Amino acid sequence: MKGLAFVAAVLLVACNTRAVAPSPTPVPTEKITFMAGFKPQADLPFVAVYVAQEKGYFHDQSLEVEIQHATSGEHIQLLSTNRVQFSTGSAGDVMKRVASAGVPLVSIAQIGQRDEQSFAVRADSPIRTLKDWEGRLVGIKSTVSADYLALLQVGGVDRSKVREVTVGFDPRVLADGRVDVYPVFTANEPDTLARLGIPVRLFDPTSLGVPGLGLSFITNQQMVDAKPDVVTRFLRASLRGLADAIADRDSAIDVVMKYATGEDRAHQRYMLDTEIEAAQNDLTRANGIGAMDRSRYVGLRDFLLQYGGIAKTVDVDAVFTDRFIKDLYKEGRLVWR
Amino acid sequence: MTARRTFVDLAVALVAIAGIALVLEVWTRVMSVPSYLLPAPSAVGARMAADAGLLAREGGVTLSEAAAGFVIGTSVAFVLATVMASSRPLERTLFPLAILVKLTPIVAIAPLFTLWFGFGTAPKVAIAALITFFPMLVNSFVGLRSADLQEVAFLETLGASGREIFRHLRVPSALPYLFSGARISLNLALIGAVIGEWTGADRGLGRVIFVANANLDLTILFGAVLVLAAIGIAANAFVGAAERRLLHWHPIAVAT
C-alpha cells in the first residue's frame, strides 16, 4: 500500500513538473463572428467552419467563434462594419462590391477554384453547343452576368438571336420547360433538378475557358491590418476542419446536419462532393486547399471589366491577399501549431 | 376651410420630412457614413434627379401591376363577402379558407406564381390580388352586416326585395368599411407587386430595389423606396378624396 502511495506521489510530481514546464505565452481568447454567406448547407467554407467548431480547432487557436448565417446578403455590410469578422463570398462578387461601392473586403483564402455557376439544359434537350442557344429562351436570374456574355462570345453566339427572360431563382422553370437554358449553382441545383426527375447537362464556364472563381473566405481590411494573427488562427483552424471534411465526408455531413436541420442529407453530400472537387486543381495540389494565384484575380478583374461585370477597374492587391494562406502551408501541407 | 387644412397638413408633413433629412444629412457627413451603409439624403436626391426617367417608368410598371391586383383582389373579396354576409353556413365554410389565404406567407409562395402564371405581369398582379384580398373581405363582410336591422325590417315591410335592400341599404352602410379596406389594400397591393418583382422580373420598382441591394447601390434603392412611398401617399389621397365625395353625408367624411 505504501509502495502504491509512493508511486502515486511520484506520478503527481512528474505531472506537476510537466505542467509548469516553460510554455509559449498564452494567447488571450478572441471572440469573433463568422457569418456564412447563405443558409446552413454544405458549401465547403461553411463545412470547414462547422467541423473546426465541432472538433474544437477554434478553441485550440484561442478563438471563440459564433457562427451565423446570412439570409439576404447582409453579411457584406456587417463585415464592412466589423460586426462580423469573417464571411464567405465569390471572388467575383467581392471584386464587384469593392469596385462599385468601395466596401473594404479582402479575400484571404480561395476555396472554390472554379466558377460557382453553370448553365443547365435538360438532358434530353436538343441543345448541344453554345451556338444552339440561338433561337432559344435563356433564363436570367436577376441581371445579365459577365459569365453569360463571355459564354456567348466563346460560342460565337449572336445575342440578338437569343431570347432572354428574367426568371428569378427557382430552377423549376427549367423542369417545367418554361425556359430552355437556366443558370444554376453547380453545387446544388443540378441535384435539385435531378430529384425532380429532370436530369440536366451543364455548360460550365470554367471548362469553356471563362476565368471564374468560386467561394472564398473573406474578411475586412480592418482585421487584415489590425489583427493579422486572428486572421491566421481563424484560417488555420478552418483549413484543418476542411482537411478533416475531405478525409471523412460522412462525418462532415453529420456535422453539417446539426446546422442544416430539415435539409436532405443526400443532397448535402452531393454539394460537399461537388465543392470538394471544385476546390482542387494543380495550384492547390502544389500549395494546399485555399491557395491563391494573383494572375487569376487579374484575369478575373479584366474579364469582369470586359463584359461589364464591374464598371471601373479595381486594385487586385486590395481585393485579395495570399500572405495568410502562404504562411499556413509548408510544401502543400497545413502546419498545425 | 378643407383646402386650408390640407395645405397646413401638407406643410407640416414636408417640414417633418425636411427635418429628418437634415438630421440624416448632417449625421452621415459628420460620421463619414459610407454610402453602402446609409447614403446622405442629398446623394439620394441627386440620384433620383439623375434617374428620374427610370424611376418614373419603373414606378409606372409597379403601379399598373398593383392597380390591376387591387381591382381583382378587392372585387373577388367583395363578392365573397356578399355571399358570406347572406348565409351563415357559407360564412362558416368560406371564412377559414380566407384565413388560410391571409396566413400564407406570400414571400414563400411567390416563386410558385411564376410557375403557375408564367413570366411577365401576370404573377405580380396575382400576388398583389392575393395580398389585398383579406383586408377587403373582412371590411366588406363587417360592413354589409352593419346595416341597421330595424331599417332592414322596415324596408322588408315595404316589400323591398333582397336585391333592393342590398343596393339601397347594405352597400351604403358598408361604404365606410369599404373605404377603410381600400386604404389598407391599396398599400398592400404595392407591396405585393414589389414582392412579385423580386421573384423574377425585368421591370418595376421591385426589380430596381432587388438589383440595387445586390450591388449595394443604396442611393437608387432609397430613391425607389421613396417613389414607392410617393405612389402610396398619392393613392391614399385619391381614396380619401373619393371617400369624401361619396360619403359626404357620413360623419367619417368630416373626420378624414
Do A220 and A324 reside in the same domain of the chain?
yes
Higher pLDDT, A73 or A222: A222
Could you tell me if A92 and A300 are in contact, meaning their C-beta atoms sit under 8 angstroms apart? yes
Burial of B240 (0-12, 13-18, 19+ CB in 10 A): middle
Do A164 and A233 reside in the same domain of the chain?
no
pLDDT tens readout for residues B14-61: 899 999 999 999 999 999 999 889 999 999 999 999 999 999 999 999
B118: left (phi over 0), alpha (psi -120 to 50) or beta: left
Q: List beta partners, residue A201.
A: A121
Nearest to A168 among B35, B36, B200 (CB): B200
CB contact, 8 Å: B188 with chain A?
no
| Whole-number average pLDDT of chain A | 90
Do A109 and A252 reside in the same domain of the chain?
yes
| pLDDT over threshold 80, residue A47 | yes
Give pLDDT, residue A198.
Answer: 92
Do A50 and A107 reside in the same domain of the chain?
yes
A3-12, A264-273, B95-104: which has the highest mean pLDDT?
A264-273
CATH 2.40.160.20 applies to domain B56-255: no
Q: How far apart are CA B185 and CA A279, in angstroms?
A: 50
A2 belongs to a structural domain: no
Q: Which of A75, A112, A74 is nearest to A91 (CA)?
A: A112
Distances (CA, A) of A299 to A91, A208, A287, A294, A314: 12, 15, 20, 9, 12
A18 belongs to a structural domain: no
- Confidence band for B251, pLDDT divided at 50, 70 and 90: low
Contacts of residue A170 in chain B, CB cutoff 8 Å? 111-112, 114-115, 199-200
pLDDT tens readout for residues A134-160: 999 999 988 888 889 999 999 999 999
Contacts of residue A72 in chain B, CB cutoff 8 Å? 213
Q: How far apart are CA A293 and CA A281, in angstroms?
A: 12
pLDDT tens readout for residues B185-242: 999 999 999 999 988 788 999 999 988 988 889 999 999 999 999 999 999 989 988 8
A12 belongs to a structural domain: no
Do A222 and A97 reside in the same domain of the chain?
yes
Give pLDDT, residue A10.
Answer: 42
A24 belongs to a structural domain: no
A9 belongs to a structural domain: no
Q: What is the CATH number of the domain that holds A164?
A: 3.40.190.10
Do A281 and A178 reside in the same domain of the chain?
no
Considering A148, A174, A203, which residue would you say is the last residue of a domain? A203
Do A107 and A190 reside in the same domain of the chain?
no
The pLDDT of A58-74, averaged and rounded, is 94
Do A103 and A229 reside in the same domain of the chain?
yes
Do A121 and A249 reside in the same domain of the chain?
no
Number of structural domains in chain A: 2
pLDDT tens readout for residues B146-182: 888 899 899 999 989 888 999 999 999 999 999 999 9
Contacts of residue A172 in chain B, CB cutoff 8 Å? 111, 115
Considering A185, A203, A221, which residue would you say is the last residue of a domain? A203
The pLDDT of A198-223, averaged and rounded, is 94
Give pLDDT, residue A31.
Answer: 97
- Confidence band for A316, pLDDT divided at 50, 70 and 90: very high
The pLDDT of A103-125, averaged and rounded, is 95
CB contact, 8 Å: B116 with chain A?
no
Give pLDDT, residue B111.
Answer: 84
Strand A63-69 relative to strand A30-36: parallel, antiparallel, unpaired? parallel
A103/B207 CB distance under 8 A? no
Nearest to A103 among B36, B207, B213 (CB): B36
Contacts of residue B36 in chain A, CB cutoff 8 Å? 77, 80, 97, 101-103
Give pLDDT, residue B21.
Answer: 94
CB contact, 8 Å: A71 with chain B?
no
**Domain extent for A124:** 117-203
Nearest CA distance, B209 vs chain A (angstrom): 11
A96/B211 CB distance under 8 A? no
CB contact, 8 Å: A102 with chain B?
yes
Q: Where are the domains of chain B?
A: 56-255
Contacts of residue A221 in chain B, CB cutoff 8 Å? none
Do A69 and A121 reside in the same domain of the chain?
no
Do A198 and A237 reside in the same domain of the chain?
no
Nearest CA distance, A48 vs chain B (angstrom): 26
pLDDT tens readout for residues B105-146: 888 888 888 888 888 899 999 999 999 999 999 999 999 998
Q: Which of B54, B24, B53 is nearest to B39 (CA)?
A: B24
CB contact, 8 Å: B37 with chain A?
yes
Give pLDDT, residue A20.
Answer: 41
Contacts of residue B115 in chain A, CB cutoff 8 Å? 170, 172-173, 176, 178
- Confidence band for A13, pLDDT divided at 50, 70 and 90: very low
Could you tell me if B252 and B243 are in contact, meaning their C-beta atoms sit under 8 angstroms apart? yes
Do A102 and A121 reside in the same domain of the chain?
no
Nearest to A97 among B114, B207, B216 (CB): B216
Q: How far apart are CA B183 and CA B235, in angstroms?
A: 8
Nearest to B200 among A73, A96, A167 (CB): A167
Nearest to A100 among B200, B201, B217 (CB): B217
Distances (CA, A) of B224 to A52, A93, B196, B199: 43, 23, 16, 17
| pLDDT over threshold 90, residue A6 | no
pLDDT tens readout for residues B71-115: 999 999 999 999 999 888 988 988 898 888 888 888 888 888 888
Q: Which of B124, B162, B169 is nearest to B143 (CA)?
A: B169
